[in-house]
Amino acid sequence: MRNRTVLISGGGIAGPALAFWLRRYGFAVTVVERAPGPRPGGQLVDVRGTAREVVDRMGLTDRIRAECVHEQGMAYVDARGRVRARMPVHAFAGEGIVADIEIERGDLARILYEETRDRVEYLFDDSIDTLTQDADGVRVTFDRSAPRTVDLVIGADGSHSHTRALAFGPESAYARPLGAYLAYFGTPYPARDGWFTLHNAPGARVIGTRPTRHGTSSVLVSFAASELDVDRGDRAAQQRLVAARFADVGWRAGELLAAMADAADFYFDRYAQVRMDSWHTGRVALLGDAAWCPSPLTGQGTSLALVGAYVLAGELAAAGGDHRVGYRRYEQALRAHVTKGQEIPGGGVGGFLPAGRTAIRLRDASMRALTSRPLRGLATRLFFSHADGLTLPEYAAG
């Protein structure tokens, strides 16, 4: 096999999933991750459609289901906490289906790490500094580790991918802002009723709570805004911005935001999609959010990453390690599926963040209608059909 050594940048979900399959096919794999270890916590992520088949082929279905969070569904409430609309899980895709595949991001990342750590080299608390390609490989320097030359480099380091910036150019050439921001963080408050409960406020704002597997709850806040001048690394400034935006919001907003400062897993970012004409250049390729971030509004990020990892590893193995063939076939196999997965359901940003009271009432009414028996099939098509439709190739293990 040519091109046997592979360096993956990113130790979240896409990177370890790719490492799992590459090792199965006989590649020597190193994963470099900026964080000091697998990152705990984070919002719930979904394993949907074709990605469930990938998890089955990994032999991890039972383990993932054992650590799932069982939500009842989504509930929209007013400022007094009165329920205005509910979408139980069976309204989306059948009784029990959604609950079986929702898991905290940190738990899924940890499972993938534990499944690969004995066969994959992990470099935590480090990152790629420079990449230099030539006909024989990629010369890589790191922030901390000694330089090395590898055959292939895969960037699986998220929507703000440093690997993409080094090999393809600045983020501004590929990221498409969607006009809104989000933050999420864990709280010590107990989960109350098992629902993903959301309160929309005028001004295109929403705050909600979700149950965790540990009996506590996590918080999601989102608001519409054009580009904001806030440093991605300045957590205190981000929290001040969130607090100011939600200062006059009712329901439980004050109580929930009070827990923000102490949250170890606080995360803040804009909603954006990554769109690229090609996911590879020379010996460097991209995977997951680094290549095609669909935005959290789609609910497809994790599923697309798992499917992409399976296909990328399989096509490289089928090509005998020839990246020129494997990368090209990887894109050909996935492009249409990714494009479908990037479609935002439910009216897009405006549907999730209705601007005024009338728009909020109309959205609530539409959600109530979608749970009625005649329209349940429509709800499934709107929210879940984008995860299906790809027939997974069969690849021979090395």
pLDDT of residue 98: 41
Q: Give the domain range for residue 163.
A: 5-70+105-174+273-344
What is the pTM assigned to this prediction? 0.92
Assign 95 a pLDDT band (cuts: 50, 70, 90): very low
Helix orientation angle between 301-318 and 323-341, rounded to the nearest 10 degrees: 160
Contacts of 310 (CB under 8 A, 6+ apart): 17, 21, 54, 57, 392
Is 282 domain-assigned? yes
Which positions ≥6 away from 384 have C-beta within 8 Å?
Answer: 48, 49, 92, 93
Residue 371 inside a domain? The answer is: no
- Mean pLDDT of all residues in 153-168: 98
User: Does residue 174 carry a pLDDT above 70?
Assistant: yes
Mean pLDDT of 110-125: 98
Using an 8 Å Cβ cutoff, are 152 and 323 in contact? yes
Decide if 311 is inside a domain: yes
The residue with tokens 């994963």 is 31
CATH number at residue 293: 3.50.50.60
Per the structure, the count of domains in the chain is 1
Which CA distances in Å does 256 have to 242, 276, 277? 12, 38, 41
Partnered with residue 138 across adjacent β-strands are 133, 150
Q: Is the pLDDT of residue 382 over 90?
A: no
Answer whether residue 381 shows pLDDT above 60: no
**Which pLDDT band holds residue 375 (cuts at 50, 70, 90)?**
low
**Cα-trace Rg, the chain:** 21
Sheet holding 121-124, edge to edge: 121-124, 28-33, 5-9, 152-155, 284-286, 280-281
- Which of 32-36, 42-46, 180-184, 246-250 has the least mean pLDDT? 42-46
pLDDT at position 377: 56
pLDDT confidence of residue 99: 43
pLDDT at position 109: 96
pLDDT for the residue numbered 96: 40
Could you tell me how far CA 22 lies from the centroid of its own chain?
21
